[in-house]
Amino acid sequence: MSFISLSLLAGLFAYLSPTNALTAPSPATSACSVLTSSLGAKKVASSRLSLEYISSKQDYWNARQSSYKPTCVIYPEAAEDVSVALKAINAAGTRFAIKAGGHNTNDFFSSVDDGVLIDLGYMTAKSYDESTTLATYEPGNRWGDLYNFYQPYGRTVMGGRLNGVGSGLALGGGLSYLSPQYGMACDSFRELEVVLPSGEIVTASNTSNPDLFLGLRGGGGNAYGVVTKYTVQSRPAGKFFAGNIVYLFQHTDAVVDAVRDFTLYNLDPKASVMATYETLTTPDLNLNLDEVIILFVVYDGEDPGTAFANFTSIPNLVDTSSLRTYPQVTDMPVPLLAQLTRADNIFRMGVHHIETDTYKTALKNWRAWASANKGQYTYTSFNLYPVAKSLTDASKAQGGNALQMPDGPWLWSNYVLSTPPDLLNVTYEKVQASFRDMVAATPMATDLPLFLNEAAKDQNALATFSTYSELQKIKRKYDPDGFFETKTGGWSFA
């Protein structure tokens, strides 16, 4: 008998054998079929043609993550479903991802290829307790859903500055327009319901699993467990004076100086600004149409007094400031930009002492890069986020968080790069690598924490926290078998 005939025979035996390797389902397929039986077909989408599957796969702010194909998507409705899911995924040994709003730009933080996607989008319950002013909500809510829900009570919750972002924002700290008054979004957590990697459902608060509670206050999502319910301190929300002031780039120096002065000298915690410098890929024909500065100003109250005087005194193209409700405040950006930014998107971060000029160097380097690489991207921006002393004080007053934020004022800088989706073998890896190198070569403070929510995975942002070794211990305690560490994406604790 020839070698080929022997191989065919062996293949036939293997095919007929119930335990053969050729037909054994993959770990992901096993987990999906177990979950279809245990959770019921209604909570599991296995067909790539189902509307739920398509919607979960498409709904990422970094469109590249939509190219990954989960083997199935599950839609838990309660902590118990998440517990069943984690146990089945662990037993099958497959990869998985936890998705809330899908806005994190890092691959595999909330997306998975050939694994189980846990889409929390159906967990949208929310409530308000008028006697305690505490708000409770589930993780499938977007910030806009929550702001709209709490508005009739004259309250709001600490969350994103744009309404479409998901609740995972608060697990990475969470910078809000109200942060100068109340700290990071995670500082307002009072109690969390958490499904641990083991599947056990626990409470994390100052009195119950306080170490876990610390890790979840800004130490990153998908690391220590799955948060299935947030109870937070709500905040009053009346009328806000807010809008966008748009400048031509010839005012770059004046605007950046105004941001510096605001960061250093503004003493009114009700005032908040974010400065964004935007560049399109279109050639610079000296028409000043490819670059624009958009400033976001928000004042918690009807009269900002002189809080924004340094900005309004600079000649501008348009100033949309007016009285708004909080849901309107978080719906301010120019609609065109929101459309343009739906692409393969990358975030990177910098952090700066305000007494040094590194943030100015960062702006200069980014602008030079944007000019030298015209045609290689669709859009890029550089954004400055002041971290006020009142913010870090408010954080400390509530017990501090995983960042243990050094006293403000200082500045976070955020860089965004948008490139078209990789199609027909045209990839943008080269320009993305060049962008990464530009940011890496730009000086920044080494004794301040990077902003987890908008850092790229290779920036290893968690390691910039002074609490890093404590977080490593918390991670080892709550994920002792390295289940999350090895089977889902996210920050490294190594």
Ligand X SMILES: Cc1cc2nc3c(=O)[nH]c(=O)nc-3n(C[C@H](O)[C@H](O)[C@H](O)COP(=O)(O)OP(=O)(O)OC[C@H]3O[C@@H](n4cnc5c(N)ncnc54)[C@H](O)[C@@H]3O)c2cc1C
Which residues are near ligand X by CB under 6 A?
61, 98-104, 109-110, 120, 139, 160-162, 165-169, 171-175, 221-222, 226-227, 453-454, 490
Pick the closest to residue 258 from 292, 303, 297 (CA basis): 297
Comparing CB distances to ligand X, the nearer of 211 and 284 is 211
Task: Give Cβ neighbours of residue 13 (< 8 Å, ≥ 6 apart).
Answer: 20
Tokens of 186: 């995670």
Comparing CB distances to ligand X, the nearer of 225 and 269 is 225
The continuous run of DSSP H or E covering 150 comes out as helix 143-150
Comparing CB distances to ligand X, the nearer of 205 and 356 is 205
Angle between helices 358-372 and 429-440 (to 10 degrees): 160
Min dist. Cβ of residue 20 to ligand X (A): 35
Pick the closest to residue 126 from 155, 84, 102, 164 (CA basis): 155
Comparing CB distances to ligand X, the nearer of 171 and 258 is 171
Min dist. Cβ of residue 52 to ligand X (A): 16
Min dist. Cβ of residue 141 to ligand X (A): 10
Task: Give Cβ neighbours of residue 264 (< 8 Å, ≥ 6 apart).
Answer: 354, 409
**Cβ density class 179-193: b for 16+ within 10 Å, e for less:** bbbbbbbbbbbbbbb
Pick the closest to residue 447 from 409, 414, 405 (CA basis): 405
Comparing CB distances to ligand X, the nearer of 278 and 312 is 278
Min dist. Cβ of residue 332 to ligand X (A): 12
Instruction: Give phi and psi for 370, each to the nearest 5.
Output: -60, -35
Min dist. Cβ of residue 162 to ligand X (A): 4
Cα distances (angstroms) measured from residue 420 to each of 164, 342, 371, 457: 21, 9, 18, 21
d(CA 142, CA 160): 9
Comparing CB distances to ligand X, the nearer of 149 and 189 is 189
Comparing CB distances to ligand X, the nearer of 100 and 438 is 100
Min dist. Cβ of residue 429 to ligand X (A): 21
Min dist. Cβ of residue 171 to ligand X (A): 5
Neighbouring C-beta atoms of residue 442, cutoff 10 Å:
21
